[in-house]
Chains A and B, each alone.
Chain A
Amino acid sequence: MDIPVIDIGNLPADPVAPDALLGIKRQQTNPKRWNEPVWADFATALTAAGVELIEQKFVTGTFATDAGGTAYGLPHGVVIAKDAAQISTLMSTAQRYRVPVTVRGGGLTTEGESVAFGGVLLDMTGMSRVLSIDAANLTVRTQAGIFWHSLAEVLRRENLDYLSAPLNMTSSVGGTIGVGGIDVNSARLGCSADQAIALQVVTPTGEIVECSDTQNTALFERMILGYGQFGVITEATLKVRPYQPIAMHYFYYTSLATAIEDLQMLDANDASDYSGILTMMDKVVNLLVAFDSDEREAAFKVDWLHRLRGHGELGISLRMGLYYALRPWRMREALYLRERKNTLFPEFRRPEHTRSGKMTDRTVVFSRAVWKHWGSRQMVIPDLATSSEKFIDATLKGNAVCKKYFRYYTLYCVGIKLRPEHTAHYEMSCIPPDAVTRAYGCEFEPMMGDLNAEDCYSRDTLQSFKNEIYDIGVGIGASYYRFGGMMKGYIRRVFGDEVVDRHLAMKRKADPNMILNRDVVF
């Protein structure tokens, strides 16, 4: 292994050490804040080079945490992205002064990956313009800080849509390409990162490079699902498709395993255009299935509907009624489920987002519901990503952990179609190495209340919960969507020394002073 030597002081003593967590009860790797006297010289040089550096505390404080709300850190200064040339100047200057740069899109990380523990916070949302749409070839070129929702707004005016994107309107394109991006059509269309045809990247040393499957391929491999270690994505060319409203169907299960079996059966047979599981604990397991066209929906009804073992709304209500009638001591849980159903179900059927029985804006509907009914000041969403074969086992084990820690929680399961020609992209990513054709992911999210609420948990409780979920992954050979930041202690345990050392060597070569997104992975 040829790992370039770096001066002591520029790196943590032992990044991603295999034993870094031993003996530390909290098992958490919050990084030390970078705080070097060179900042003043750097700030002067950067400003002299024409880059606006914002150092007011109330602005740097805007970026103090991420969507997770459990990692806190303050940058010394903020740069709002304008264009690739400006970011090039930032990176080359930062490299010269060895100042860390943390890149942030929508800030929807949960483990502090987009939180700057000192140094510069680069706010990519400043680059949020759609540059061009090629309707004939179904592609779009966009600045990478744009939210997927803002991209959808522009595409819709041309009656186009993106292929797949996180069900969260404020995820950014660049951030998503860096980590994956899962939609309820990912079992058919793959993760969002696989939509990228070409990228403009500013490297950690400040070069502006265009890369794709045919141009600067090595860089392209590392940018897709690369957790932002090898460059800043400034522009992206993405595949798009004609816009279609979708016909939704919901099936309700009382068995998680049965629902997953049915999900995987549908995915394996390409029986639907959208599929996923969303649960209320493991009591009400909702398999959602949806279609882009009447033809696909009709074929599903003929060929696959009768094979699904889920129930309709009335069926599940009767079963739940009977279940809790026989268990009156669990009435509180029953009331919670009823209240949850009464508030959630109408959200998914809002008339202004429904036309002729079809949902017109799935991301708006889902994202608003997510923030309104799942979001809170803290969000902890550990996950497991496995091969198809291991998925039921992983999910059931994770569910048992959820039950141990929390009264109320939810699971979100979805398949991810893989592109064989992109196998190299998947190394050391959320795609598990043993997955073939399709991987599966499950997110485990406790329902948390506001401060002083009964369902408010300490940081240690949340961290222990995450560790138990991640330990399952180590045990069965899974991967994770969120393995960076506070959870990076698991990286070597999951991917092994050989892979991690190889990536570390590449990182050191590309980023000599290890300034870009430090402490996210390395």
Chain B
Amino acid sequence: MMPLRSRTYTACSGCSLCLLSCPVWRNTHDIRLTPHGRAKAMQHGATAIDLAESLDSCTLCGACEPACPESIDLVGMVTGLRGELALQREATPPFDGVLPAPTGNISPPTMLIAEQSMSDNPGLLRSIIEQLGGDVAVSVSSDSGTDISIALSDGLPIPAERLEHFLAPLRTTLRVIVADGRLFYALKNWLHGVTIASLGEALSALPQVRSKLSDGDLYVIESVAFHRDHERLISHYDSLRLASGCSMNLDLQRMAVPTTASARAHGREFVEEQVRWILQGRAPTRIVVEDLADIPAFQRVADVPVIHVGALL
């Protein structure tokens, strides 16, 4: 059960704990670009337009939320304000009115919502499907929900018809495995009675994956899903770390340091700075990532093999 984060900016007492794991804070040291800065500014009358730069800079990694002692919905605060900002900017929604083709093999026990980029690597995708399913059939959703994920990030309304088209086949399954962290959290709220797991969690729970990790590996957790279900997932990854001896992109608070490669907020330099910070003081012989977008980011900086966790299978 994920913790309920229903409190708003009004509850912020300014403790600054949210800054400690914030990648934007780490790179800018500008309090205006942090959850603390946004909440306090709103307490003093700031509007979405006033906070435009701050809102645009947020990577939505969600590391601030488990740190917040007031249980404020800090990610929801950003996406809500982004929605207001989009209205004022007259932003174009990511929906083109064309619905994706329906997914075949209706009602499989497990449905995988893979990243769009995974279709570029059919071998990896096939291997993941085989291993995730075991004796049970796994179908890949033909609808990656990328436009919905973008809308969620930008606080934009999702047309009811589009959302229903996305959710309908998922309701007939027992388990949904999703690669996109933002969809992971949304699906937890949208689909009741269906088990939702992140792709990273699902793969790293497999014995055949765990057995192939060793103390020379740096395992890079996808941060968005991790922080959204932190209280539960922290035990999962802690046991993985103990069992394999691998290091992880966790800071001292046990938040996942994100590369932010999947976020659209910052450029290459920012991402590489994050990657350098993850690697600082570490000398892995291999880097294993949950998010495909992290592979090129690490390859640009590190001189060791970088693979997706699915490639361990």
- A→B interface (CB under 8 Å): 54, 56-62, 64-65, 67, 69, 80, 106-107, 123, 125-129, 145, 147, 149-150, 152-154, 156-159, 169-170, 351-353, 361, 364, 367-368, 371-372, 375-377
Contacts and interface: CB of A to CB of B under 8 A. Distances in A.
22 contacts: A59-B32, A59-B41, A61-B40, A62-B37, A64-B40, A67-B14, A80-B31, A107-B16, A126-B29, A153-B251, A154-B280, A157-B281, A157-B282, A169-B17, A170-B16, A170-B20, A351-B235, A352-B254, A361-B252, A361-B253, A372-B69, A375-B15
Nearest to A69: B13
B125 interface: no
Nearest to B43: A61
Contacts of B20: 147, 149-150, 153, 169-170
A106 B17 CA distance: 10
B7 to A, nearest CB: 11
Contacts of A107: 14, 16
B151 interface: no
A372 B67 CA distance: 10
B130 interface: no
B164 interface: no
Contacts of B40: 61-62, 64
Contact of A371 (B15, B43, B46): B15
B303 interface: no
Contacts of B44: 57-58, 60-62, 64
Nearest to B40: A62
A521 to B, nearest CB: 24
Interface string B27-44: 001111000110011111
A54 B37 CA distance: 13
A159 B14 CA distance: 31
A58 B69 contact: no
Contacts of B254: 352-353
Nearest to A80: B30
Interface in B202-242: 234-235, 238
A364 B253 CA distance: 6
A145 B16 CA distance: 13
A209 B247 CA distance: 42
Given A65-B14, A361-B252, 4 more contacts: A62-B37, A67-B13, A126-B29, A353-B254
Nearest to A363: B252
Contacts of A145: 29
Contact of B31 (A62, A127, A169, A376): A62
CB-CB nearest 7 A-B residue pairs: A157-B281, A61-B44, A58-B46, A62-B40, A58-B41, A371-B69, A170-B16
B3 to A, nearest CB: 12
Nearest to B37: A62
A62 B31 CA distance: 9
Interface in B9-59: 13-17, 19-20, 29-32, 36-37, 40-46, 50
A448 B218 CA distance: 44
Given A62-B40, A62-B44, A125 B31 contact: yes
A65 B14 CA distance: 9
Contacts of B15: 67, 170, 371, 375
A125 B69 contact: no
Contacts of B252: 149, 152-153, 156, 361, 364
B14 A352 contact: no
Contact of A377 (B13, B50, B238): B13
Contact of B13 (A123, A368, A376): A376
B41 A352 contact: no
Interface in B253-301: 253-254, 280-282
A41 B239 CA distance: 61
Give the secondary structure class of B's interface: loop
A61 B14 contact: no
B281 A158 contact: yes
Given A58-B45, A371-B15, A157 B253 contact: no
Nearest to A152: B252
Nearest to B45: A58
A102 to B, nearest CB: 15
B30 to A, nearest CB: 6
A58 B46 CA distance: 6
Contact of B16 (A106, A352, A372): A106
Contacts of A361: 252-253
A61 B41 contact: yes
Nearest to B14: A107
Contacts of A376: 13
Specify which of A128, A157, A352 lies most central, judged by the most chain B CB atoms within 10 Å of its CB: A352
Contacts of A351: 235, 238
Contacts of B41: 58-59, 61-62
B237 to A, nearest CB: 9
Given A152-B252, A364-B253, A352 B13 contact: no
B13 A56 contact: no
A61 B32 CA distance: 11
A308 B41 CA distance: 51
A71 B295 CA distance: 49
Contacts of B234: 352
A352 B32 contact: no
Contact of B42 (A58, A65, A352): A58
Contacts of B238: 351-352
A158 B281 CA distance: 6
Contacts of A158: 281
A170 B253 contact: no
B11 to A, nearest CB: 8
B251 to A, nearest CB: 6
Contacts of A377: 13
Nearest to A154: B280
A313 to B, nearest CB: 23
A56 B253 contact: no
A372 B13 CA distance: 12
A351 B236 CA distance: 11
A158 B46 CA distance: 41
Contacts of A106: 16
Contacts of A128: 29
B215 to A, nearest CB: 14
B251 A57 contact: no
Contact of B50 (A56, A67, A153, A159): A56
B219 to A, nearest CB: 15
Contacts of A368: 17, 69, 253
A153 B19 CA distance: 13
B152 to A, nearest CB: 26
A371 B17 contact: yes
